[in-house]
Chain A
Amino acid sequence: MLLQLVSVGGIALIVALVWLVFREGSPPLDRREAIARADHDLPGFSGEEALCGMSGGALVADAGGRIALLKPHGDHLSVRLAGPGAAVVRDGSVLIVRTPERMFGTLRLDAGDRAGDWEAKLRKAIDGAA
């Protein structure tokens, strides 16, 4: 029981310290890093074109029109392929992509003036995979 008490106190202390000490987020993603990340996380995928969101996250397309979704997760990224069951909505310049995995969450990406372009690409990728 003492162990549990010490542990709970320790957890609170460490998490608070980490929150205080590491407050700045990671540097914004660039195109090259986004492509490298997609290629690493999706074996067999070879990214050619990338759209980096203005507040994190990215979309990476390969030559065959497949699209990798790079969702910010803490100061890392989690990657999925846009496939069957995924859905995309556009709200102005913001693209919102949902995957069929409920626990994976939603990718929100401010795509600026390229939002329409990438929305079309995404729809094609999702329909093409279905």
Chain B
Amino acid sequence: MELPDPVEIAVPFFIGAMVLELLWVRLKGRSAGHYEWRDTATSLLMGFGSTVAGLLTGGMFVAAAIVISDYRIAEAGWAWWAWLLCFLADDLSYYAFHRTAHRVRWFWASHVIHHSSQHYNLSTALRQTWTGTVSLSFVFSLPLFLVFEPAMVFFCSGVNLVYQFWIHTESAKKMPAWFEAVFNTPSHHRVHHATNPRCLDRNYAGMLIIWDRLFGTFEPEPDPAEEPLRYGIVRNLGSFNPLWVAVHEWVGIAKDLWAAPTWRARWNYVAREPGWSHDGSRLTSEAIRRQAGLGDPPAATGRAPGAPAGPHRPAA
């Protein structure tokens, strides 16, 4: 079956929605969000660059998917329940990818791009990585090809990506309670993009927030009057240069590998969480949470003592 690419169809809607949002923000003032032209230009250029990178490197993903589907262990076919299961499985694999992208510096180096804006508006949604495919971020969805039709998997992950566009806004405050309970919303995802200690490494959801609730990574949005959210990464770049935005963390990794005293430290600079350092001179998100008087997140209790800390800090 030939299925369209949801992202391609959505591009004109993305443009229309941004026009509406920025006019709305102009009308309503800063409580509804904010735009800054250089920030928006960088975000949109990152988005454009990621489609070009997709053309250049996407073949790697497709090839891997085709190879894996030769070893299919089940034939889900095109039944309605297969679609439903595929959407769920794809969303869960997104959760697994996204959580790893915040906890393993190799994957963070690609994902950090999405978090590098200090603004939170629809254009932020399009601030996408250029190095996702070459850093093998797609491995998390490969198991799906053992069960589902490849075209179905690609379609579902396209829909997931398109869904995540509209939640990058401060213009929508809260959705109805039942919706907030099940789906990822602007409120939940604002927390994900914030650098307030309680928000670090929280709300990894793609379409469904249920995974965060299930796996203990959910954090509700604080009352803005009590704790306003600050967006970005803990160590903000201070640069609008798209090339630097795209590669800064890779450069950081390279420098650390060069300066590391042992091979074990080299491995850890790639495989451990962002902010890990061999001499404890940097801060990981757990260390930041601890300093702020918040407990360790449940998933991070196995950490070595001596709280790493530091410059290349993860963000939301």
Contact = CB atoms under 8 A, between A and B. Distances in A.
B292 A105 contact: no
Q: B-side binding surface: helix, strand, loop or mixed?
A: helix
A40 B230 contact: yes
A71 B238 contact: yes
Question: Which of B19, B44, B52 has the largest count of A CB atoms less than 10 A from its CB?
Answer: B44
Interface string B172-184: 0000000000000
A55 B38 CA distance: 19
B36 A75 contact: yes
Contacts of B244: 103
A17 interface: yes
B36 A22 contact: yes
Contacts of A11: 41, 44-45, 48
A103 B241 contact: yes
Interface string A68-97: 000101111011100000000000000000
Contact of A15 (B11, B37, B51): B37
Interface string A1-25: 0011011101101110111011000
A4 B248 contact: no
Interface in B31-71: 34-41, 44-45, 47-48, 51-52
B52 to A, nearest CB: 7
B288 A43 contact: yes
B258 to A, nearest CB: 15
Interface residues on B, range: 35 or more
A44 interface: yes
Contacts of A22: 22, 26, 34-37
A111 B175 CA distance: 46
Contacts of B12: 6, 10
Question: Which of B52, B239, B291 has the largest count of A CB atoms less than 10 A from its CB?
Answer: B239
A46 to B, nearest CB: 11
A10 B15 contact: yes
A75 B244 CA distance: 19
Given A3-B11, A10-B15, A76 B118 contact: yes
A41 interface: yes
B254 interface: no
Nearest to A21: B26
Given A10-B14, A13-B15, A74-B118, A18 B40 contact: yes
Interface of B: 8, 11-12, 14-15, 18-19, 22-23, 26, 34-41, 44-45, 47-48, 51-52, 118-119, 123, 195-197, 230, 232, 234-241, 244, 248, 283, 287-288, 291-292, 309
20 contacts: A4-B48, A7-B47, A7-B48, A7-B51, A14-B15, A14-B18, A15-B40, A18-B36, A18-B40, A41-B234, A41-B236, A43-B287, A43-B292, A73-B236, A74-B36, A74-B39, A76-B119, A76-B232, A76-B236, A78-B236
